[in-house]
Amino acid sequence: MEISSILYSMLCMLAFVVFFLFLIHSLISKLFFTPSSPKLPLPPGSLGWPYVGETFQLYSQNPNVFFASKQKRFGSIFKTHILGCPCVMISSPEAAKFVLVTRSHLFKPTFPASKERMLGKQAIFFHQGDYHAKLRKLVLRAFMPEAIRSIVPDIESIAKDSLQSWEGRLVNTFQEMKTFTFNVALLSIFGKDEILYREDLKRCYYILEKGYNSMPINLPGTLFHKSMKARKELAQILAKIISTRRQRKQVEDHKDLLGSFMGDKEGLTDQQIADNVIGVIFAARDTTASVLTWIVKYLGENPSVLQAVTEEQEAIMRTKEEEEGDDEGNQKALSWSDTKKMPMTSRVIQETLRVASILSFTFREAVEDVEYEGQLKKLK
């Protein structure tokens, strides 16, 4: 899928889907107060245990159960304490619009400290201004049609391998989609060249992601410690790949994401590149795997739509069979132009992006004291 349509869908989701938002703040006492009204109360809710707060309640179960029970008890705005951060959680479209659109200047992107350390401080998510705009451009250009059209056959081959590996097995759809998405992510980031490093990249990233929602306690034996070790190793592998490309003077030849980062005129440092490569895997993987899982579920529930999608795909397969294959008699691979002949499939993807809840919550930090439209009175 083109990144422009993905980003468009993200915006639509932000605008239309009811979603949860953490307003992380280093000092919750600053939140929801204005200098002129110093005695305004914080929203209702609980800060839980010292330091750990309510982290375990959130992450030891389906997060939606945590949100639903809090919402039922306290309403759509409540305070809590997650991953070492006292914060306020909002869950109404009006409040989301306030934070993301009308008063967005009062908030900046952020993540809990543990996630920031794992992704890396130079990743796009923690920045605004010129550096952020530059990174956005570099990411976008690696996912434009000109950049990805040539890898369609390779994506098809990854999909076929996945399907084959499911033969005769009971599979967990989301886990399998995560594996598929990870393989496609590596292909779009490194192209086909870095096949040598695939298994190491995978091993390190899988350890790293286990710690994404851990408390930032860097002591031997903790999940956070193991993740930080894996992250270090990941950065070393990336440094090796970057240096090999530089030695071979191959920077400009690559249309993949790494090539886009390395081709930046002003030059990104190795650390900036590593943080953003890890950042993009983080941004792309679970989100895309989740959409794919929702698609499977919705198709299963709507046999007539499944039938229409199947017929559309089979028609493309038939034309491929009729086309001349390669010298060894292999059938022609799926091409970029084939993907343009899938109106029904595309509509299923678009509709899934519209109705499914993919990102349960995201984070912002208040840059100054914020009072939310007189709601404080109601919250007393």
Residue 79 or 115 having the CB closest to ligand HEM: 115
CB of 111 to ligand HEM, least distance (A): 9
Could you give the maximum distance between any two Cα atoms of the chain, in Å? 79
115 contacts 211 by C-beta, under 8 angstroms? no
Please report how close the Cβ of residue 148 comes to ligand HEM at its closest, in angstroms. 11
Give the span between the Cα atoms of 313 and 307, in whole angstroms.
10
- Closest to ligand HEM by CB, 131 vs 229, is 131
Q: What whole-number distance in Å separates Cα of residue 260 and Cα of residue 11? A: 24
83 — phi, psi (to 5°)? 45, 45
CB of 53 to ligand HEM, least distance (A): 21
> CB of residue 290 vs ligand HEM: minimum separation in angstroms?
7
Q: Closest approach of Cβ 286 to ligand HEM, in Å?
A: 9
Residue entry with tokens 């930090």: 365
Which residues are CB-contacts of 368 (< 8 A; sequence separation ≥ 6)? 30, 106
Q: Which is nearer to ligand HEM, 70 or 364 (CB)?
A: 364
**Encoded tokens for 107:** 């908030």
Least spacing, CB of residue 288 vs ligand HEM, in Å: 5
Which residues of this protein are in contact with ligand HEM, per CB under 6 A? 3, 6, 10, 13-14, 109, 124-125, 136, 139, 143, 280, 283-284, 287-288, 291, 353, 358-359, 362
Burial class from Cβ neighbours inside 10 Å (0-12, 13-18, 19+) for residue 270 reads middle
Looking at beta carbons only, is 118 or 376 nearer to ligand HEM? 118
Residue matched to tokens 């929602």: 213
Cβ at position 110, least distance to ligand HEM in Å: 9
Nearer to ligand HEM, 139 or 234 (CB): 139
Given a contact cutoff of 8 angstroms between Cβ atoms, the answer to whether 34 and 374 are in contact is no
Instruction: Judge whether 304 and 274 are in contact, CB under 8 Å.
Output: no
Nearest distance in Å: CB 378, ligand HEM: 26
Nearer to ligand HEM, 139 or 207 (CB): 139
**In angstroms, rounded to a whole number, what is the distance separating the alpha carbons of residues 106 and 102?**
9
Residue with smaller CB distance to ligand HEM, 6 or 306: 6
Residue 217: Cβ within 10 Å count: 14
Q: Which is nearer to ligand HEM, 54 or 365 (CB)?
A: 365
Cβ neighbour number for residue 287 with a 10 Å cutoff: 15
Residue 359, classed as helix, strand or coil, is coil
